[in-house]
Structure 1
Amino acid sequence: MQNRKEYFKHLLHNKNWTQEDRVWFLQYLNEKDLTELQEFAAAEYNADLFTAEPILAREDSERILKNIHQRIAVKPQPIVRRLWWRAAAAAMLILAAGIGYYKVSHPPVKELIVLSGEQRKKVTLPDGSKVLLEPRSSLKYKGDYGKAEREVALSGEALFDVQHDNAHPFIVASSLINTRVLGTSFNIEARDAREAKVVVLTGMVQVQAIDGNRNDGQEVILTANKRAVYNKTTDQLQMSDASDDARFYLQKQQGRFVYDGTELIKVVNDLQRYYNINVTVDKRLQHCAFYGDFNTIDEPEKALNVIALSLNARINKDSAGNGFNISGGSCQ
């Protein structure tokens, strides 16, 4: 007789057992030591977990289950003490055959990861919700997103515009806080393990701190123009006004920054924040009123030149070549 484990495999995959197969299997079941069958079943189970295709289709699994029952019943043994061994062996073979059907019925759920790299990246989720990822940020969500739940995991910073769905709340998980909404727009900063911030533009969100030194489940409800900041060092979740932050994020979401008599220093702060650059302004120009707008797809130099023209000022790069300086001109 060939190697037993090879013969087990032959029985597992063969549609029709011969009389010799039946006799051999029943004789084997009468043995006290079923170690080889146990090892075979375990090996088939583990192998199938790491293969893309199942070992057997559903109908094959059902057929083997039925046939094993029939074959064991063909020549019942008179020794009652053997019955437990037969049942155990049959169960092992059924497990090896049935795991293929389980894998078909419960395929692994893929996890999708979006990386922004060094540029902002727009992401549209399956439900139509939109995410604007800031540079060096990542967003993860499951391949079955939206079927049972709408949950994403954020590392970094992102601006969310969530489709309304009463039956499926939208949840953003990060290292320090979880944010839960039904339909709204908000921005989350969760770049490190020390502090996380949520600013609401429209609608309402629930923010809950994770872990910390207390177990009271700190949480706050935020409405439009409100901010929640969680500090891990102090283990405090605090809410405050965020009208200026909300204005900034809303204009970023709309793709255009519009100013109607805004102090130049505030305009420059927006440019620094959006383009991640350093801009200095002569003190005598900082409170000049600025009227104009910038498109978010414009290069920073273009936006700065619009400011310079309105004030008859000059734009110069700093000595290191990493930032800009606005000088000369006047408020007029």
Structure 2
Amino acid sequence: MNNPSPIVDLFVKHLQDRCTADEVKQLLKHFEIEENEEILRHLIRAELDFTHQGEITNSKEDAALLKVKSALISKIKQNQEQPRVKRLSPISRWVSRCAVWLVLVCSTALLVDHFYTDIKDYFHPVKLLTATTKRGERKLLTLSDGTKIWLSPSSSLEYPDQLIGNLREVKLEGEAFFEVAKDKKHPFIIHSGRMDTRVVGTSFNIQSFKAQINSTVTVVTGIVKVSALRSSGRKPQEVILNPNQRSQLDSQSGTLTSINYPNAKQMLKRKDGILNYDGTPVQDVVADFSRYYKVPILIESKSKNCLCYGEFDTNRPVNILLEQLAAAINAKIIIQKEKYILKGGCEE
């Protein structure tokens, strides 16, 4: 295939009616080369889509292809005939030129940006990548716009290798801490289950595991909009979060709420594996531990009713953390056949 850039340049100039007589002939020659047909069809498909021509069928493409070719031939004939042109007065010429430049200024930037973005995507298509973490594994990802994402254990993130277009979108399953590069013109959106989080440049933590009852977004800096999808075509619920606030989506009721969360800065430690709890149910704490360690951790019924307070460093061995947890709730740790059992606590 020939280098596509000259074809794209000529086609855009043709749409803007800026082709010289020689360039019109060159573009027509490209139409006559079979291996260039795919490129030209894509250009025409892009133009049909840009002008909102409805569903783009093969017959529409064929008709448009013939129409462009006929227009080029017609231009060549007109150039060969060189018809006499009525001379305009200097004032008329000035008014005419102003009108042309006004149209070009208003439309050229949008048109060229549209086609070059579309063609760039065609010749260098966006690839969807997936990053996953196992138990006890964390990853730091840096996206093409400079956004940094700390992916927690037992999580996955689907993201494009190029963040182009009007929106920057990723999909999260699990937990991650985001530092989003600021770009007001291109909002950043994280899809996580039934929850969408939209920002332009901020830092926050998202927890959205399928097994969890609640999904949360905790804001450290900036402003975040969280939306919860609802069934039966109802309008999504939305909350706006400021720093030191958290949203919570109940997966059973579908209710989205927001609360003040003064300890939001603890999320900066959490991305490094240091977990802080302030009255968190022990079963949620153990669920966190289970993502960081490859050992079974069981809880007796009494322990499930306990609330946990304290800071735990998952970079340390699991037995040390469990002994710390047991001391915090007045429980005991029993080891049986390579599994840990949290027994008693709270009321005893």
Q: 2: CA distance between counterparts of 1:321 and 1:227?
A: 38
Pair member with larger Rg: 1
Q: Does 1:97 align with 2:116?
A: no
8 Å contact kept, 1:258–1:294: yes
| Residue in structure 2 matched with residue 324 of structure 1 by the alignment | 341
Return 5+ residue gaps in structure 1 as ranges: 1-54, 71-89
| Residue in structure 1 matched with residue 142 of structure 2 by the alignment | 125
Q: Residue 180 of structure 1: CA displacement?
A: 0.3
8 Å contact kept, 1:161–1:185: yes
Q: Deviations over 1:177-223 (max 9, x none)?
A: 2110131212130527x976232132432112335113323222233
286, 306, 327: which one aligns with 1:272: 286
Percent identity between matched residues is 25
Please tell me the root mean square deviation across aligned C-alpha atoms, in Å.
4.6
Q: Residue 312 of structure 1: CA displacement?
A: 11
8 Å contact kept, 1:157–1:190: yes
| Residue in structure 2 matched with residue 160 of structure 1 by the alignment | 178
238, 241, 245: which one aligns with 1:219: 238
316, 326, 338: which one aligns with 1:298: 316
243, 249, 272: which one aligns with 1:229: 249
| Residue in structure 2 matched with residue 112 of structure 1 by the alignment | 129
8 Å contact kept, 1:136–1:156: yes
Change in Cα spacing, 1:147 to 1:160, as seen in structure 2 (3 Å) is: same
Return 5+ residue gaps in structure 2 as ranges: 11-21, 44-118, 291-296
| Residue in structure 2 matched with residue 35 of structure 1 by the alignment | none
Q: What SS does structure 2 have at the residue aligned with 1:219? A: strand
Aligned length: 245
Q: Normalising by structure 2, what TM-score?
A: 0.53
Write the mapping of 1:1-332 to structure 2, written as runs, cut at 5 A. 55-58=1-4, 66=25, 93=32, 96-100=35-39, 105=120, 106-107=122-123, 108-126=125-143, 127-145=145-163, 149-182=167-200, 183-191=202-210, 197-202=215-220, 203-210=222-229, 212-223=231-242, 224-229=244-249, 231=251, 234=253, 236-241=254-259, 243=261, 246=264, 249-257=267-275, 271-276=285-290, 277-279=297-299, 293-306=311-324, 315-317=333-335, 319=336, 321-325=338-342
Q: Residue 124 of structure 1: CA displacement?
A: 2.2
Q: Normalising by structure 1, what TM-score?
A: 0.55
Change in Cα spacing, 1:273 to 1:164, as seen in structure 2 (3 Å) is: farther
